[in-house]
Amino acid sequence: MKSFFVLTLFPEMIEGTLSHSITGRAIKEGIINVEAVNIRDFTMDKHRHVDDYPYGGGAGMVMQPQPIYDAYKSIADKAGKARVLYMSPQGRRFDQKMAEELSKEDSLILLCGHYEGVDERVIEEIVTDEVSIGDFVLTGGELAAITIIDTVSRLVPGVLNKEESYENESFSDGLLEYPQYTRPPEFMGRKVPDILLSGHHANIDKWRREQSIIRTYQKRPDLLEGAELTDKEKKFLNTLKRNDEEK
Ligand code: 4GX
């Protein structure tokens, strides 16, 4: 079983969010396990404070090392030699490739900081990886941890059922997904492409693959660098590029 341990000041954010939908089902079925550890439960302070003013002055507060270290120690044996991910805008950028790498680990520990961050000494002591989910500033690490757990969970065997399976999805081959349609066949005067109603599965596959290439070229051309294209598909892409140059 894959276990995620989250060191956080807001355990309800973690458990409340991941208890829904696909991750919620996977937890119920015992395929994954999510344990939120409340850092505040480990404070020795009579007022249960977990932060203090920064040495050297400056704005904001810094999370103290001792409650975080003790929260970590409380799960360290259960978590084995698990990697400890520190959510931070300064970290390595999280992407699907990192998710695949993390999905192979038995357990993961995720540390969520707040305020101006965490005392550097406890980071040096316990953190193995500093991870960012993007170049923007959250109010705390919880949404980053939830994002990582959600993304990694769906790669764990058994979490997705056949219908939800990820064989054809974005990024598995480095391309964006083709457009999807369902009933009715006409909506606000807009028809579903005829080919999808034709029943010719080989033609449909070819059309979808072309749509994926067109979309990736139009919306995320940066992804084409790493995409897996056949020689025929590379030629198709080159005709798209040439058509654009003519305009
Ligand atoms: N991807 N945040 C962490 C506290 C903090 C401040 C400074 C380290 C240094 C974020 C992100 C993110 C907000 C979580 C600041 N930690 N985390 N928090 N983007 O913005 O992961």
Q: What percent of the chain is predicted at pLDDT more than 90?
A: 93
| 242 burial via Cβ count (<10 Å: 0-12, 13-18, 19+) | exposed
Distance from C-alpha of 174 to C-alpha of 151, rounded to nearest angstrom = 16
**Beta-sheet pairing, 190-191 with 186-187:** antiparallel
pLDDT at residue 233 above 60? yes
pLDDT tens-place string over residues 167-217: 556 666 899 999 999 999 999 999 999 999 999 999 999 999 999 999 999
pLDDT of residue 201: 98
Distance from C-alpha of 88 to C-alpha of 53, rounded to nearest angstrom = 20
Please state the φ and ψ torsions of residue 132, each to the nearest 5 degrees.
Answer: -115, 140
The residues lining ligand 1, judged by C-beta closer than 6 Å to any ligand atom, are 87-89, 113-114, 116-117, 132-134, 136-138, 140-141, 144
> What residue spans of 86-222 are helical by DSSP H?
96-102, 120-126, 142-153, 201-219
With H, G, I as helix, E, B as strand and everything else as coil, classify residue 179. coil
- Provide Rg for the chain, Cα atoms: 23
Give the rounded distance of the alpha carbon of 235 from its chain centre: 33
Distance from C-alpha of 44 to C-alpha of 40, rounded to nearest angstrom = 9
pLDDT of residue 171: 64
pLDDT tens-place string over residues 143-155: 999 999 999 999 9
Of 115, 138, 143, the residue with max ligand 1 atoms within 8 A of its CB, to mutate for a pocket test, comes to 138
pLDDT tens-place string over residues 28-73: 999 999 999 999 999 999 999 999 999 999 999 999 999 999 999 9
What is the CA(87)–ligand 1 centre distance, in A? 6
The residue whose CA is least distant from atom 18 of ligand 1 is 140
Q: Which pTM value belongs to this model?
A: 0.96
Distance from C-alpha of 232 to C-alpha of 243, rounded to nearest angstrom = 17
pLDDT of residue 115: 84
CB 83 within 8 A of CB 111: no
Q: What atom of ligand 1 comes closest to residue 114's alpha carbon?
A: 4
pLDDT of residue 109: 98
pLDDT tens-place string over residues 8-35: 999 999 999 999 999 999 999 999 999 9
What is the CA(41)–ligand 1 centre distance, in A? 22
pLDDT of residue 170: 62
